Amino acid sequence: MKSLWAVVLGAAQDGGIPQMGCACAHCVEARRDPALAEDPSSIALVDDQTRQFWLLDVGPAIARQYDWLMGALGSGYRLAGAVLTHAHIGHYSGLLSLGREVMNTRAIPVFGSRRMMGFLAANAPFSQLISLGNIEPLVLDPGMPRQLTQDAWFELMPVPHREEFSDMMAVVVRGPRRRLLYCPDTDGWDSWDPPVRDVVASVDVAYLDATFFDSGELPGRNRREIPHPTVEETLQALGPDEGRENLLARVRLIHLNHSNRLWEAAVRTTVEAHGVLVARRGQRETL
């Protein structure tokens, strides 16, 4: 029987948890107990029929994530390619491990928006991956479906977020039975068009940006410089309305900053009582 599935390789914000140089309670606990540690956000799409996998985002912990995934899959599986959402450090910097200093891969397909691929081509050392043939950058315009495997298609969907180096894309994956949305970063739900409720209703599983738990999480920082929807805002935006289904049951919260209170078991339990799940490494979804 053909089997296509997704597995979470990491669910933290770009710096992971524990975050380098941080002495907050969450990071201290994660150093004491490795079971509480979590790598930056990434998802693998695994095709058991062809024994290959694709990565949604390739961050700074790719070596550890790759080893974990290969251990979980067993022998005979191979990296077939990657899809990048945007050019913030936690989502593309791991591409360097595909270069000649490490894996020295050959023509690994890497999909992204026109701006994302242009950023890689114009900036060393990523441009060297292209010139040496380690990766093959492939531009995919939003809304244009692309086939990954016999049973899997994906397309990019633009979402609002900081665009210092590239635009921001969510990824929609269509399997033979279910659809998955991967959106680790966005500015907030009010600026989505179409509305986030409609987007989540169109898929079966939605991995959504949950960087911050509430608006008071980082005292002394201007939230406009690091805009993300809070968990509280997500629960409000997708909570059940009278006569409408509860979309929260489709949601998996991902991209948690080290300051996020969802790292605390009691808080996580309270939030998951609404029907959502908090993503962690190893979480699987059949597609």
**Residue 246's domain spans which residues?**
4-286
Radius of gyration of the chain (CA): 18
Angle at the Cα of 272 from the Cα atoms of 72 and 265, rounded to 5 degrees: 75
Count of structural domains, the chain: 1
Angle in degrees, CA 164, 14, 229, rounded to 5: 75
Helix (H) or strand (E) holding 46: strand 42-47
Q: What is the distance between the alpha carbons of residues 99 and 106, in angstroms, rounded to a whole number? A: 9
Per-residue pLDDT of the chain (287 residues; tens, 9 = 90+): 458 999 999 999 999 999 999 999 999 999 999 999 999 999 999 999 999 999 999 999 999 999 999 999 988 999 999 999 988 899 999 999 999 999 999 999 999 999 999 999 999 999 999 999 999 999 999 989 999 888 889 999 999 766 677 888 999 999 999 999 999 989 888 888 889 999 999 999 999 999 999 877 765 555 565 677 899 899 988 977 655 567 999 999 999 999 999 999 999 999 999 999 999 999 999 99
Per residue, the 3-state secondary structure of 151-190, as one string, reads CEEEEEEECCCCCCCCCCEEEEEECCCCEEEEECCCCCHH
Alpha carbon distance 163, 144 (integer Å): 21
CATH of the domain at 108: 3.60.15.10
User: pTM of the entire structure?
Assistant: 0.94
